[in-house]
Structure 1
Amino acid sequence: MKKILYFMLAVGLTMTSCENDLDIINPNNPTENDFWQTATDAEQGVNAIYSTLHRGPIVLWQWFYYTVRSDEAFSRSPRVDIPNNMDKFLITNYNFGETNWIYGDNYIGIFRANQVLANVPDIEMDPDLKARLLGEAKFFRGFFYYNLASLYGNVPIILEPSTTTMQPANATREAVYAQAAQDLTDAAEVLPLSYSGANVGRVTKGAAMAMLAKAYMQMRNYQAAYEPLHWLVEGPGSEIYGLLENYRENFLSTTENNKESVFEWQFATNESEFTDNDVQTPNQNYGSPLAQFIAPANIGFSDAEIRRWVVNEFHEEETVTGERDPRLSASFFFDSTDVRGPEFSMIYGQTFAQRYGPNDTRVWVRKFANDAEPGRTREGFRSANNYRFVRYSDVLLMYAEVLNALGRTQEAYQYVDRVRERVGLAPLAVVKPGLSQEAFLEQIMHERVTELAGEGHRWNDLDRWGYFESQEKLNELIERDPAFSTFMLDRHRLLPLPQRDVDINPNLVQNPNY
C-alpha cells in the first residue's frame, strides 16, 4: 500500500453573493457529475479516505489527546497552549486550533467516505471490487466516528455527503458509538482477510473486527465485544495473526505490515513532494510528523514526555532468566534505555549522558522513532515509519479483559500469558494464580501499560475503566499525574465542540459545562 498514490478528491464549491448568484465551473477541475464513472474513480475515491490519516490533526494531535491528556504522558512544550489544553485541562478557548482540527479532519474523512457510499453503488464495475471498496469506506466512517465519540461524545451523525446548508443536531455519545459499531459490522462482512502486492496495508476483515470490539468495549457491551474478539483469537483470525518473536520489530520501518499488525496506518516518503532545491511542490505529503513532535530534546520538538511511573511499571517483574523486561528499552528513550545506564544508552548516535547529562530523568516515546536508521541524528516532519494502531497483542489483552468481564476469568489467563511469554515473563497462572475478577482487571491494567504504553489507547482505557466518573478513581490519577488535579468530573471527560460550529448551527448544543 505504500506505493498507492493517494488521490485527493476535488470538491467544487458554489460561491454566492448577497446580490447576484455566481456559479462558474472551473473546466480544469473534476466535478461530482463527471467523476464517479469508472472503477478507477471508485478506487481513487476510497484512496482519498485513506489519505485522511496523513493529515496532521489525525496522526499527530489526535495522538496527543489520546496519550498526553491521559496519565501516562505530559507536555512541557514552550507553546503553553499545548500543555494547557492537551495536558492540564485548562481549557479556555473552545476554538483552540488543534482541537478543532481533529474534529474537522474526522469529519473530512466521514465526508469522503459518504461520497464513496453515495456514488460508487451506481458505477458499473466488478461487483466483488465494488463490495470491497464500499467495505473500506464503511470501515473508515466507523473509525472516524469511533474517534469522535471517544473525544467529543455528542456529535452529529452524518450519513450522506454533507452540504453547506446542513445544520445537523447532536447525537448522543452512545448513538455515535453505535453508528461506529454498525459501520464496522458492515465492513467486516465484506472486507477480505488479507491483500497482496501493492494493496498490502488496506483495511481487512481483521481490522474491522478489532475496531468493532473496541467500539463495543467503550460502550461496555462486553458480550457484543466477545464475538469479534473470539473470531480474531479462536476463529479464522488466529490463522492470520500472531505475535512477533521480537517485540521491537513492531516499531521498525523495516518490519512493517507483519503478522502482529491488525490495523496499520501506511506512511511513506514522497520523493516528488520537494524539488531538488527543497522547494515544496503541490504533491501530497505521505509521511507522519508524529516522530518530529515527540522526539527527545535536540532531536525533535520534545512536546510530549512519558511520566516516570510508567517506567516503574516495567520494573515490577523480571523475566524468567532474571533480566529486565525487554519492552522497556523498545518503548522509551531515557537514562537507562540501555540497562547499564546513561553512559551506555544511545540516543541518535550519542549517549544519553552526552546529550542530557547523567542525572536527567526525562522519558520520551521511542515507538514511532527512526533512530534505527543508520546515521540518523534528528527526526523530521515526514516519517515513513508506519503507525501500528492495533496490534495483535492488544487484541489478546482485550479478549482477556472481555472474558474476565463476562465472569470467565480462568479462561482469560492464557491470553495474557501469550503476551507475557513473548517477552520472557513467567505465566500469570504461575505468579498470580486464582485472581478474583476485580484483581484480574487490575492486572490487565498493568499489562496494557507495559505492552501498549504510548500507542494511543490509554485515554479510552481509563474512560472504559471508570476513572472519569468518581472522585475516588480520579484521586488515583492525581497521584500518578498532577495535571488531573484540575480535571472536573462533570466536564473534562469530553472535549468541547468547536464553538464556531455551535455558533453557526442552531441545532448544535455545546457539551455539558463548557
Structure 2
Amino acid sequence: MKKIFLLTSMILLVASACNRDFDQPNPNSPTIASFWKSDTDAIKGINAVYSTFHRTATLYSRFLFYHGMLRSDEGYGSGGDITLNNIMSFNQTNYNEGLTAGTWQNLFIGVFRANQVIAYVPTIDMNEALKNRIIGEAKFLRGLFYFNLTLYFGRPPLILEPSEPTDRPSSASNAEAWAQVEKDLSEAAAALPLSYTGDDLGRATRGAAMGLLGKAYLQQNKNQEAITALAFFITGEGKGLYTLTANYQDNFKAATENNSESVYEVQFRFNPNESTDDDVDETRINNTGTSIAQFYAPRGVGFSDGGARRWLIGEFKKENTAAGTRDPRLAATLLFDSTDVRGPQSSLVYGQTFASRYGTNTGESSAVWFRKQLNDNEAGRTEEGFRSPNNLRLIRYADILLMYAEALNGIGQTSHAYPFVDMVRVRAGLRPINQAAGWNQAQFLGQIKHERITELTGEGWRFADLQRWGDLGPELSVRDPEFTNFVKGRNEYYPIPQSDIDLNPNLTQNPGY
C-alpha cells in the first residue's frame, strides 16, 4: 500500500507542475522596482549605466573601435582573427557573430539600465537637483547607445521603458531612431551641468550632450540643426569652456586626460588590485581598463588585430607646416617605418627601432599601426595589456570645430566656415586656408574631408564620416581592397542579429541580408 501511495503522490506532483505558470514572479525575490529607494540607489543605478562601457569587449573597450575604424577605408583586420577579418571585409555570413550581435546586445543592456534610471529615479524622495542631473545623465547615455545602434544597425527597436520578458518591440525606421537620439540628448542637455570636479569628473556634461546632438544632426545632414546645437561651443554658454591643447598628442596620453580639449571622454583606469590581465569583463573580473591597446599594438608588443592603411601617410604629406616640416600629427597618429622622419633606423616601436624589430625587406616593413590608443609614449613601456588606463576621447573640441565648419558650408555659408578649420590647422603648425580662393561648397567639403583625416584618423569616426557623405561604395577599393566586396544598399549597416529576430517576430532584417 505504501508503494501505491508514493506513486500516486508523484503523479499528482507532476500533474500540478505541468499546470504551473513558470512566468510567475518568485514572491521571495526582490523586484527591480523595490531597489530604488534612496539617493544612494540612484547614484548606484546611474553608475551601472556608465559601467556598460567596460562590458566585455563589445563596446568602448574594443569592438566599437573595430566598427568605426577597421570597417572604414582607414583600417582593416590585420591579425589572425579570421572572423574579424571577414566582417571588416563585408563578408559576414553568421548574423549571430559576437562582433556584431554582441555589440547590439550590449548596447541594449546599456539601454535597459538607462531605462530603469529614467523610470524609477523620479519616484525617489531625494535632492531635486541631483535627481534631475542623474536623469539627464541617463538620457545622455541612452542617446549615446541609440546613436551607435542607429549608426551601425540602421533600424533598432525603440525600447524606452523598463523591459518585460513578454515585450516584442517592432523595428523603428532610421528616421524614428535618430529622432529619439535627438530627443534624449536635447532633454539631457537641459538637465546637465557645465562641468564637474573631484570624483564626478568624467560624468556627462551639457557640452557632451550638445556635442553629440550636433553630431547626430550632422550625421543626418541636418545642417541648420547641427549649427544650432554646436553654437553652444561657439557663441553659447559653452564658449571658452573648451580650447585646443597646445600639444596635439596630449589628447591621446594617459598622463594628460580630461584636458581643455576634451568634450567627452570614456573613463578607463588601471586597478593594481585586479587579479588578472585577462580581457575586459565587468561580470567576471571587474576590469575598468581597456583592451584597445592590446589588440591594436604592433606585432611583438600586442596582437595587431587592427592595422592602418598606408594611403593615410600620403594624406598627411600633402602639405607641410608653415615652417616647412612634416605635419606633426602624422607621428602622433600612426606607427610605421618613418614615424620618425629620419626613417626605420630612428623610428622607435616600444623602445626598439622599427628596423631592428621588422627589418626593411619583410612583410612587416610596410605595416602601419594606429597609435592614438597606445601607451608607447610611457617611459619603459615594452608591451601592452588588457587593462590600459588611457581614456578614450570620444568627442574633442577640434571635432566640434570641423563639424561646425562642415554644417556652415552645408547651408551655403562657406565664407563663414574658414576660421573654424583654420583653428585646427594652425594648432598643427599649418598655414590658414587661403579664403581668397573662394571655394564653392563642393570644394570646401573636399577640404573638410582632408582635414578630418589628418585631425581625426584613428579616433573611431571615419566610417560615420563616409556614411554621412555618401562615400561608401566599391569605388573606395582603390585605397582599400576590401571595399571590392561592398554592396550599396546593404553594407551601410550590419545585419540585425538573427537570434533576436527568431525571438521577436516584430523585428525585420536589414535589406540585403
What range is the shorter-chain TM-score in?
over 0.9
Equivalent pair of 2:227/2:404 in contact (CA under 8 Å): yes
TM-score, normalization by structure 1:
0.92
Match runs of 1:22-421 below 5 Å:
31-55=31-55, 56-59=57-60, 60-85=62-87, 87-274=88-275, 283-359=285-361, 360-421=365-426
Which consecutive residues of structure 1, in runs of 5 or more, have no partner in the other structure?
1-16, 469-473
Q: Distance in 1 between matches of 2:499 and 2:445?
A: 41
> Offset of 1:26 from its aligned partner?
10
Letter in 2 for 1:443: Q
Equivalent pair of 2:339/2:347 in contact (CA under 8 Å): yes
Distance 1:131 1:345, change over 3 A: same
Letter in 2 for 1:411: H
Q: Distance in 1 between matches of 2:33 and 2:482?
A: 52
Q: Distance in 2 between matches of 1:18 and 1:63?
A: 48
Q: Distance in 2 between matches of 1:433 and 1:246?
A: 29
Equivalent pair of 2:186/2:209 in contact (CA under 8 Å): yes
Partner of 1:498: 497
Q: Distance in 2 between matches of 1:433 and 1:202?
A: 43
Q: Distance in 1 between matches of 2:72 and 2:478?
A: 13
Q: Secondary structure at the match of 2:255?
A: helix
Q: Deviations over 1:316-374 (max 9, x none)?
A: 01001110000000111100111111111111110111111124011101100111222
> Offset of 1:84 from its aligned partner?
0.5
Q: Deviations over 1:409-447 (max 9, x none)?
A: 0110000000000010000126x7311110000000000
Q: Deviations over 1:72-123 (max 9, x none)?
A: 11113212111101x2101111111111010001101000000000100000
Q: Distance in 1 between matches of 2:30 and 2:201?
A: 29
> Offset of 1:18 from its aligned partner?
5.8
Partner of 1:14: none
Q: Deviations over 1:222-277 (max 9, x none)?
A: 1111111111122221210010000000000010001100010000112332189x
Q: Distance in 1 between matches of 2:95 and 2:466?
A: 24
Are positions 1:458 and 2:474 aligned together? Answer: no
Equivalent pair of 1:343/1:358 in contact (CA under 8 Å): no
Equivalent pair of 2:474/2:485 in contact (CA under 8 Å): no
Q: Secondary structure at the match of 2:395?
A: strand
Letter in 2 for 1:244: T
Q: Distance in 2 between matches of 1:384 and 1:415?
A: 32
Q: For structure 1, which segment, 132-141 or 486-495, has the greater mean C-alpha deviation from structure 2 after superposition?
A: 486-495
Equivalent pair of 1:270/1:284 in contact (CA under 8 Å): no
Q: Secondary structure at the match of 1:445?
A: helix
Distance 1:506 1:321, change over 3 A: same
Q: Distance in 2 between matches of 1:350 and 1:275?
A: 27
Are positions 1:511 and 2:480 aligned together? Answer: no
Q: Distance in 2 between matches of 1:275 and 1:477?
A: 42
Q: Secondary structure at the match of 2:434?
A: helix
Instruction: Compare CA radii of gyration and give the structure with the larger one.
Output: 2
Letter in 2 for 1:321: A
Partner of 1:440: 444
Q: For structure 1, which segment, 257-266 or 58-67, has the greater mean C-alpha deviation from structure 2 after superposition?
A: 58-67
> Offset of 1:39 from its aligned partner?
0.3
Equivalent pair of 2:270/2:289 in contact (CA under 8 Å): yes
Q: Secondary structure at the match of 1:388?
A: strand
Equivalent pair of 1:212/1:225 in contact (CA under 8 Å): yes
- What is the percentage of aligned positions where both structures have the same residue? 50
Distance 1:119 1:507, change over 3 A: same
Are positions 1:481 and 2:468 aligned together? Answer: no
Letter in 2 for 1:477: L
Q: Distance in 1 between matches of 2:141 and 2:124?
A: 20
Equivalent pair of 2:474/2:487 in contact (CA under 8 Å): no
Q: Distance in 1 between matches of 2:327 and 2:314?
A: 11
Q: Deviations over 1:31-82 (max 9, x none)?
A: 4243100001001100011101112101211211111110111113212111
Equivalent residues, number: 488
Equivalent pair of 2:75/2:309 in contact (CA under 8 Å): yes
Letter in 1 for 2:386: F
> Offset of 1:459 from its aligned partner?
0.6
- Which stretches of structure 1, 4 residues or more, deviate above 4 A after TM superposition? 21-27, 280-283
Q: Distance in 2 between matches of 1:175 and 1:155?
A: 9
Equivalent pair of 1:293/1:304 in contact (CA under 8 Å): yes
Letter in 1 for 2:108: Y
Q: Distance in 2 between matches of 1:177 and 1:383?
A: 33
Q: Distance in 1 between matches of 2:267 and 2:434?
A: 37
Partner of 1:13: none
> Offset of 1:391 from its aligned partner?
0.5
Letter in 1 for 2:421: V
Letter in 2 for 1:77: G
Q: Secondary structure at the match of 1:305?
A: strand
Distance 1:102 1:282, change over 3 A: closer
